[in-house]
Structure 1
Amino acid sequence: MEAVSIVLFLLLAVVLSGSISRMLPVPVPTPLVQIMLGAVIGMSTSYRVALDPELFLLLFLPPLLFLDGWRIPKDELLKDISTVVELALGLVLITVIGMGLFIHWMIPAIPLAVAFALAAVVSPTDPIAVSAIAARVPIPKRMMHILEGESLLNDASGLVCLRFAIAAALTGSFSPSSAAINFVWVAGAGIVVGVGLTLAVTRAKAWVSRRFGEESGSQILVSLLIPFGSYLLAEHLHASGILAAVAAGVTMTYAEISRQALPNTRMRRNSVWDTIQFALNGIIFVLLGEQLPAILAGARTTVKMTGHDSTGWLAAYVLAIVAGLAALRFVWVWVSLRLTLLRRRYRDGVTVHSPDWRLVAAMSLAGVRGAITLAGVLTIPLVLDDGTAFPARDLAIFLAAGVIIVSLVLASVGLPILLNGLTMPPEPSLLAEEDAARVAAAEAAIRAVERSQHELAERMGDGDFYAAAGGRVMDIYRDRIDSRSGSAKASAAARVQDRIERDFKLVALQAERSTIVDLARDRRIGSATIRKLVRELDLVEARYRS
Structure 2
Amino acid sequence: MESLYLIGLLLLGVIAANVVKQFIPRVPDAFIFITMGLLLSFTPAFNGFELEPEFFMLVIIAPLMFVDGQRQSFRKIRQKFSTIFLLSVVLIIGTILIVGILTNLVETQWTLPLAIALVAVVTPTDAVAVKSLTSDNGREMPGGVGDVLELESLFNDATGLVMLDLALSVLQKGSFSLFTGLSHFLFVSIGGVVLGIVLGLIIVGVRVWLNVHINNAETSIIPISIMTPFLVYIVAEQLGTSGILAVVATGIVHNWEASRLRLTSTRVQLTSSTIWTTISNVLNSLVFVILGLSLPEVWKDFVKIGVPGSMQLLGLSILIYLAMLAIRFIWAIREGQGDIRSLFGTAGNAPHRQNARIFALGGVHGTMTLAMAFSLPHLIDGKVFPFREELILVATLVILISMLSSAIMLPRVMPKGTAAYSADDIAHVRSKMVDYATLQIRSQISDHAVREELTSQLQTQKGWTISSVTDDKFQTLLDDTKDYIRNYIHSDAVGDKYGTEVINIYDNAINHWNSGLKNKRTFKHELHVLKKQYKHAKWHIVNGVVTPKQRQRSREQFKATKSPEEWAKWKNIRGAVIALNNEVLEQTDTYLDGILKSRLEAFQSDNTYVYDVRQAVNEYLNRISHEYKQKSVNVDSDLYIQAFQFEYNFVQQASSTGRLPRTLISALYSEINQAQALQLHQLEELSTINTEDQELATSQIENN
- Please indicate, yes or no, whether the TM-score normalized by the shorter chain is above 0.5: yes
| Cα distance between partner residues in 2 of 1:526 and 1:277 | 40
- Whichever residue aligns with residue 370 of structure 2, its letter is L
| Cα distance between partner residues in 1 of 2:289 and 2:308 | 30
Match of 1:542 in 2: 670
Match of 1:358 in 2: 354
Give the superposition deviation at 1:524.
3.8
Match of 2:72 in 1: 72
Match of 1:460 in 2: none
Q: In the alignment, does 2:36 pair up with 1:37? A: yes
Paired residues of 2:145 and 2:358 also in contact (CA < 8 A): no
- Give the 3-state SS of the residue equivalent to 2:349 in structure 1: coil
Match of 2:283 in 1: 280
- Give the 3-state SS of the residue equivalent to 1:22 in structure 2: coil
Q: In the alignment, does 2:94 pair up with 1:94? A: yes
Match of 1:213 among 212, 215, 218: 215
Paired residues of 1:62 and 1:227 also in contact (CA < 8 A): yes
Match of 2:310 in 1: 311
Match of 1:414 among 403, 406, 409: 409
Q: In the alignment, does 2:389 pair up with 1:394? A: yes
Deviates further, 407-416 or 9-18: 9-18
Give the superposition deviation at 1:198.
0.9
Match of 1:12 in 2: 12
Match of 2:265 in 1: 262
Give the superposition deviation at 1:160.
2.3
Match of 1:302 in 2: 305
Give the superposition deviation at 1:92.
0.4
CA-atom RMSD in angstroms: 3.8
**How high is the TM-score relative to the length of structure 2?**
0.58
Q: List per-residue Cα deviations over 1:404-431 (Å, max 9, x = no partner).
A: 11111111111111113599xxxxxxxx
Q: List per-residue Cα deviations over 1:313-335 (Å, max 9, x = no partner).
A: 23222211211111111111111
| Cα distance between partner residues in 1 of 2:632 and 2:218 | 25
Match of 2:233 in 1: 231
- Whichever residue aligns with residue 123 of structure 2, its letter is S
Give the superposition deviation at 1:197.
0.8
Paired residues of 2:117 and 2:168 also in contact (CA < 8 A): yes
Paired residues of 2:210 and 2:220 also in contact (CA < 8 A): no
- Whichever residue aligns with residue 378 of structure 2, its letter is L
Match of 1:293 among 292, 296, 306: 296
Match of 2:622 in 1: none
Give the superposition deviation at 1:140.
1.9
| Cα distance between partner residues in 1 of 2:294 and 2:629 | 51
| Cα distance between partner residues in 2 of 1:301 and 1:528 | 71
CA change 1:142–1:528 in 2 (3 A) is: farther
- Give the 3-state SS of the residue equivalent to 2:46 in structure 1: coil
CA change 1:29–1:110 in 2 (3 A) is: farther
Match of 2:380 in 1: 384
Match of 1:374 in 2: 370
CA change 1:143–1:211 in 2 (3 A) is: same
Q: In the alignment, does 2:246 pair up with 1:247? A: no
| Cα distance between partner residues in 2 of 1:145 and 1:366 | 12
| Cα distance between partner residues in 2 of 1:334 and 1:395 | 34
Aligned residues: 457
| Cα distance between partner residues in 2 of 1:504 and 1:76 | 40
Paired residues of 1:506 and 1:541 also in contact (CA < 8 A): no
Paired residues of 2:53 and 2:374 also in contact (CA < 8 A): yes
- Whichever residue aligns with residue 191 of structure 2, its letter is A
- Give the 3-state SS of the residue equivalent to 2:140 in structure 1: coil
Q: List per-residue Cα deviations over 1:214-233 (Å, max 9, x = no partner).
A: 43132111112222222222
Give the superposition deviation at 1:528.
11
Give the superposition deviation at 1:114.
3.2
Q: List per-residue Cα deviations over 1:483-511 (Å, max 9, x = no partner).
A: xxxxxxxxxxxxxxxxx998854555796
Give the superposition deviation at 1:271.
2.0
Match of 2:125 in 1: 125
Q: List per-residue Cα deviations over 1:137-196 (Å, max 9, x = no partner).
A: 121222211211111122222222223223333444432210111222222221111101
Match of 2:399 in 1: 404
Paired residues of 2:365 and 2:402 also in contact (CA < 8 A): yes
- Give the 3-state SS of the residue equivalent to 2:22 in structure 1: helix
| Cα distance between partner residues in 2 of 1:527 and 1:220 | 35
CA change 1:76–1:184 in 2 (3 A) is: closer
Paired residues of 2:197 and 2:250 also in contact (CA < 8 A): yes
Paired residues of 1:506 and 1:544 also in contact (CA < 8 A): no
- Whichever residue aligns with residue 398 of structure 2, its letter is V
CA change 1:382–1:224 in 2 (3 A) is: farther
Give the superposition deviation at 1:540.
8.2
CA change 1:169–1:273 in 2 (3 A) is: farther
CA change 1:101–1:509 in 2 (3 A) is: farther
Paired residues of 2:46 and 2:293 also in contact (CA < 8 A): no
Paired residues of 2:13 and 2:289 also in contact (CA < 8 A): yes
Q: Which runs of 5+ in 1 are unaligned?
A: 345-349, 424-499
**How high is the TM-score relative to the length of structure 1?**
0.74
| Cα distance between partner residues in 1 of 2:79 and 2:350 | 18
Q: Which runs of 5+ in 2 are unaligned?
A: 419-427, 439-454, 465-611, 620-627, 648-666, 675-704
More RCO (CA 8 Å, sep 6+): 1
| Cα distance between partner residues in 2 of 1:318 and 1:545 | 50
| Cα distance between partner residues in 2 of 1:523 and 1:98 | 79
Q: In the alignment, does 2:113 pair up with 1:113? A: yes
| Cα distance between partner residues in 1 of 2:357 and 2:416 | 14
Give the superposition deviation at 1:44.
4.7
Give the superposition deviation at 1:247.
0.9
CA change 1:168–1:513 in 2 (3 A) is: farther
Deviates further, 376-385 or 362-371: 376-385
- Whichever residue aligns with residue 96 of structure 1, its letter is I
Q: List per-residue Cα deviations over 1:117-148 (Å, max 9, x = no partner).
A: 22112222211121222223121222211211
CA change 1:341–1:269 in 2 (3 A) is: closer
Q: List per-residue Cα deviations over 1:23-43 (Å, max 9, x = no partner).
A: 215x22211111111112223
Give the superposition deviation at 1:73.
4.9
Paired residues of 1:513 and 1:534 also in contact (CA < 8 A): no
* Sequence identity percentage: 28
Deviates further, 163-172 or 217-226: 163-172
| Cα distance between partner residues in 2 of 1:528 and 1:407 | 59
Paired residues of 1:70 and 1:251 also in contact (CA < 8 A): yes
| Cα distance between partner residues in 1 of 2:155 and 2:35 | 29
Give the superposition deviation at 1:374.
2.6
Match of 2:160 in 1: 158
| Cα distance between partner residues in 2 of 1:93 and 1:104 | 16
CA change 1:109–1:221 in 2 (3 A) is: farther
Q: List per-residue Cα deviations over 1:455-507 (Å, max 9, x = no partner).
A: xxxxxxxxxxxxxxxxxxxxxxxxxxxxxxxxxxxxxxxxxxxxx99885455
Give the superposition deviation at 1:244.
0.9
Give the superposition deviation at 1:352.
6.7
Asked which structure has the greater CA Rg, the reply is 2
- Give the 3-state SS of the residue equivalent to 1:391 in structure 2: coil
| Cα distance between partner residues in 2 of 1:167 and 1:9 | 38
Match of 1:139 among 108, 121, 141: 141
- Whichever residue aligns with residue 390 of structure 1, its letter is F
- Give the 3-state SS of the residue equivalent to 1:311 in structure 2: helix
CA change 1:321–1:525 in 2 (3 A) is: farther
Paired residues of 2:192 and 2:246 also in contact (CA < 8 A): yes
Deviates further, 193-202 or 34-43: 34-43
Q: List per-residue Cα deviations over 1:327-351 (Å, max 9, x = no partner).
A: 1111111111x4549989xxxxx98
